[in-house]
Amino acid sequence: MFGYVRILKEELTFSQYEDYRGIYCSLCRRTGKRYGHVARLLLSYDMTFVAALRLALNDQPVVFCKGRCPYNPFAKRQCCQESAVLDTVADMSLLLCYGQLQDTVTDARGPKQWGAWLLTKWLKKARRLAGERLPELAATVEECLAAQAACESGMAVSPDAAADATARMTAAMMAALSADDRERRILERLGYCLGRWIYFMDAADDLEKDVKANAFNPFLQSEREPDFAALRLRAEQTLCASLNECISAYDLLDIRRFDGILRNILQKGCVAGQLLVTHPERKVRETNERSV
């Protein structure tokens, strides 16, 4: 996961933000307890969304209490007590992040590649343990990573084909959040569309970098002298379609709590991040406004 699935903080109420931060902090704590402190470095906001969604589908109420963060022991933070749910999401996070590290080792060069290689060695035992806890998801992640590598090695690949492996991987993770058949089907569709959106966000974000490095990018397959404005417009249309389908699937779920947080992420946070990627001039303008 790439960290694009985030809140728009200024649109949340204080209590909503406290709940969101409580889920994030508790997920970080459980990840560290199960896989060590290094694994905490891989935690992304995407997985906080997954944890919040799983908690939102629970019949039982979610309990919060005050606790201390080991990295900031002088400040008490709100913590979520649903350790079983968070443990499962921590397992999912480790599997997906380890797979992302393997992909970085294959594709990157220089310090980034070396750092990813070192982390894969450090977390090898943790990956094996997470695979034993979630064997079906672990097998799906391995299969999708292999399919992704094969796809990106092709000379002419459509954006839809390029995004399919990431989308299927995310779909499998979301489907594993529920045992109810109807809910699983909806979550699988939500995960597939969200995975497409994440993949295309990363591709759109890396357009200039991939051109300079002559690296694979699904939006650059037929471009000899790329028109970045036209490419970003194409990316924006693809992103909007994927995100709208994701929201449509979310609307079919029986959400019992955290609806304001989850809708903030899908309808505001993701949209705001998408605008910054497809309209980079906004990022420059906002930076200038903050400096005034």
CA distance 202 to 191: 16
Residue 2 in domain: no
Residue entry with tokens 């991040």: 273
Q: How many residues does the chain have?
A: 292
CA distance 4 to 222: 26
According to the model, what pLDDT value does residue 211 have? Answer: 87
pLDDT tens, position by position, 185-212: 999 999 999 999 999 999 999 998 888 8
Residue 38 has pLDDT above 50, yes or no: yes
According to the model, what pLDDT value does residue 13 have? Answer: 95
Q: H helices within 214-258, ranges in order?
A: 228-250
Residue 198 in domain: yes
Residue 73 in domain: yes
- Number of structural domains found in the chain: 1
Confidence of residue 289 (pLDDT cuts 50, 70, 90): very low
Confidence of residue 1 (pLDDT cuts 50, 70, 90): low
Sequence-distant (≥ 6) Cβ neighbours of residue 12 within 8 angstroms: 20, 260, 261, 264
Confidence of residue 2 (pLDDT cuts 50, 70, 90): confident
Residue 283 has pLDDT above 60, yes or no: no
Residue 127 in domain: yes
Q: Which domain holds residue 155?
A: 9-291
Structure token digits, residue 269: 């946070």
Q: Is 258 left (phi over 0), alpha (psi -120 to 50) or beta?
A: left
Residue 4 in domain: no
Q: Which of 50-59, 109-118, 259-268 has the least mean pLDDT?
A: 109-118
Residue 207 in domain: yes
Residue 172 in domain: yes
Residue type, 122: W
DSSP string across 16-84: HHHHHHHHHHHHHHHHHHHH-HHHHTT--HHHHHHHHHHHHT-SSPP-EEEEEETTEEEEEEEEE--HH
Residue 79 in domain: yes
- CATH number for 64: 1.10.600.10
Look up the pTM and report it. Answer: 0.90
Instruction: Please choose, from the candidates 124, 95, 119, the residue with its C-alpha nearest in 3D space to the C-alpha of residue 105.
Output: 119
β-pair partners for 222:
none
Confidence of residue 157 (pLDDT cuts 50, 70, 90): confident
Q: What is the mean pLDDT of the chain?
A: 88
Residue 284 has pLDDT above 50, yes or no: no
